[in-house]
């Protein structure tokens, strides 16, 4: 009889059930703590977890500024949840990165005497995912920020894709470490190459906007109605690109010796100055530059090995 009460691995079924129940309760407690940590305020506003120096988070903040949605969102430092690697934060974003948008949903009404369900917290990591959510969820608020012309919209998507796939993954070469000097130099070369690709997309966008008759009349490639990615008004692509270019414009001359990050990139230069003059762009510019200055004062470029790396004349650092 005793043998019949044991599992094939020698564990009592009752004990096994208790163990599974304990694990389930523990997992539920972890999720509950995370949900309580991000419980919506009385206003039930979506919460954006971000810091001012984050160029990826700034993409979302810029959209909020442009659409006049700042009062409809809370912006919190991830430290309120214990930091990016805390149990509560990882429950919401297993990648442990920012930005992260947490959107509370109202509780559902129970049937009869059944209790109402607890509010569901929709967690949206990844800056482009959040940006697209904001653009479509609040399409009727403020400017649309989505080009109506299919060609312009395709090029806006392209320039965003170039940024997200080819620039953002290697931008850490400018300020992170420790990093092998060969890897840092290789990634910096990639940044330079992709800046040229961005300039080319700017030119393509300008050409698709120009009426054929105007093109024939001018007989050149310099006339367009910019200064933004898709013309006279900014769109989501400008929001994606600009915060990272604040990094490039500030870091590359200061620590890598570049004379002008916009040399031979006249369209990008015109665009960058227009973004700096824009009210929302100017605000993001100040937020990021202040953060970069804090990094400088803290000796980041010394401690990450950047300043030592650029002394190695086997590699090209200045373009």
Residue 59 confidence (pLDDT):
98
Residue 220 confidence (pLDDT):
47
> Percent of the chain scored above 90 by pLDDT?
76
Q: What is the mean pLDDT of residues 279-295?
A: 99
Residue 253 pLDDT > 70, yes or no? yes
For 110, 168, 202, 277, the CA distances from 156, given in Å and listed in that order, are: 45, 16, 9, 21
Residue 29 pLDDT > 80, yes or no? no
Q: Evaluate whether 98 touches 78 at the Cβ level (below 8 Å).
A: yes
**Band of pLDDT at residue 120, cut at 50, 70 and 90:** confident
Q: What is the mean pLDDT of residues 295-319?
A: 98
Residue 218 pLDDT > 60, yes or no? no
Q: Evaluate whether 42 touches 121 at the Cβ level (below 8 Å).
A: no
Residue 226 confidence (pLDDT):
85
> Percent of the chain scored above 70 by pLDDT?
78
Q: What is the mean pLDDT of residues 199-215?
A: 81
Residue 119 confidence (pLDDT):
65
Q: Could you report the per-residue pLDDT of 43-87, keeping only the tens digit for each?
A: 489 999 999 999 999 999 999 999 999 999 999 999 999 999 999
| First-to-last C-alpha distance (Å) of the chain | 81
Residue 248 pLDDT > 60, yes or no? yes
Residue spans of the domains in the chain: they are 22-107+117-137, 150-309
Q: Evaluate whether 68 touches 143 at the Cβ level (below 8 Å).
A: no
What would the two tokens of residue 187 be?
A: 């990634």
- Tell me which residue of 54, 56, 316 sits closest to 190, measured CA to CA: 316
Q: List Cβ neighbours of 87 (8 Å cut-off, separation of 6 or more).
A: 30, 33, 34
Q: What is the rounded average pLDDT for all residues in the chain?
A: 86
Residue 210 confidence (pLDDT):
82
Tell me which of 16-25, 68-77, 127-136 is least confident. 16-25
**How is the chain classified by DSSP, letter by letter?**
-TGGGS-TTS--HHHHHHHHHHHHHHHHHHHHHHHHHT---TT---EEE--TT-HHHHHHHHHHHHHT-GGGSEEE-GGGGT-TTSHHHHHH-TT--S-EEEEE-PPPPPSTTSPPPPPPEEEEESHHHHHHHHHHHTTTSS---S-SSHHHHHHHHHHHHHIIIIIGGGGGGGT--S--HHHHHHHHHHHHHHHHHHHHHHHHHHHHHS-HHHHHHH-SS---S-SBTTBSS--HHHHHHHHHHHHHHHHHHHHH--S-TTTT-HHHHHHHHHHHHSHHHHHHHHHHHHHHHHHHHTTHHHHTTHHHHTT-TTS----
Q: What is the mean pLDDT of residues 1-21?
A: 43
Q: What is the mean pLDDT of residues 202-217?
A: 74
Read off the pTM: 0.81
- Tell me which residue of 202, 251, 252 sits closest to 231, measured CA to CA: 202
For domain 150-309, give its CATH number from 1.20.1050.10, 3.60.15.10, 2.40.10.10, 1.10.3720.10.
1.20.1050.10
Residue 111 pLDDT > 80, yes or no? no
State how far the Cα of 202 lies from the Cα of 196, in Å rounded to an integer.
10
CATH 3.40.30.10 at 22-107+117-137, yes or no: yes
State how far the Cα of 31 lies from the Cα of 23, in Å rounded to an integer.
12
Q: Could you report the per-residue pLDDT of 135-175, keeping only the tens digit for each?
A: 999 999 999 999 999 999 999 999 999 999 999 999 999 99
Residue 136 confidence (pLDDT):
98
**Band of pLDDT at residue 7, cut at 50, 70 and 90:** very low
């Amino acid at each position: 009889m005793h043998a019949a009460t044991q599992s094939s691995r020698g564990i009592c079924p009752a004990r096994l059930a208790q163990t599974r129940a304990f694990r389930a309760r523990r997992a539920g407690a972890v999720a509950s703590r995370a949900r309580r940590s991000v419980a919506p305020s009385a206003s039930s506003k979506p919460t954006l977890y971000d810091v001012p120096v984050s160029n990826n988070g700034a993409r979302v903040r810029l959209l909020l500024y442009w659409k006049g949605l700042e009062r409809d969102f809370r912006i919190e430092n991830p430290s309120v949840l214990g930091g990016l690697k805390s149990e509560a934060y990882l429950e919401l974003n297993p990648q442990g990165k920012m930005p992260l948008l947490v959107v509370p949903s109202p509780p559902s009404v129970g049937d009869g005497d059944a209790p109402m369900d607890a509010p569901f917290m929709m967690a949206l990591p990844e800056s482009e995912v959040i940006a697209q959510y904001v653009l479509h969820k609040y399409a009727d608020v403020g400017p649309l920020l989505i080009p109506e012309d299919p060609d312009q919209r395709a090029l806006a998507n392209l320039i965003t894709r170039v940024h997200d796939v080819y620039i953002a993954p290697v931008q850490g070469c400018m300020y992170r470490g420790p990093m092998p000097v060969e890897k840092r130099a290789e990634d910096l070369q990639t940044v330079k190459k992709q800046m040229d690709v961005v300039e080319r997309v700017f030119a393509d966008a300008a050409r698709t906007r120009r009426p054929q008759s105007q093109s024939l009349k001018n007989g050149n490639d310099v006339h367009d109605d910019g200064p933004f990615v898709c013309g006279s008004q900014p769109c989501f692509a400008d929001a994606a690109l600009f915060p990272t270019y604040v990094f490039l414009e500030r870091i590359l001359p200061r620590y890598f010796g570049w004379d002008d990050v916009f040399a031979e990139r006249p369209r990008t230069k015109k665009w960058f100055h227009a973004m700096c003059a824009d009210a929302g762009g100017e605000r993001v510019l100040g937020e990021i530059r202040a953060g970069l200055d804090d990094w400088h004062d803290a000796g980041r470029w010394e401690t990450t090995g950047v300043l030592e790396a650029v002394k190695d004349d086997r590699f090209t650092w200045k373009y």
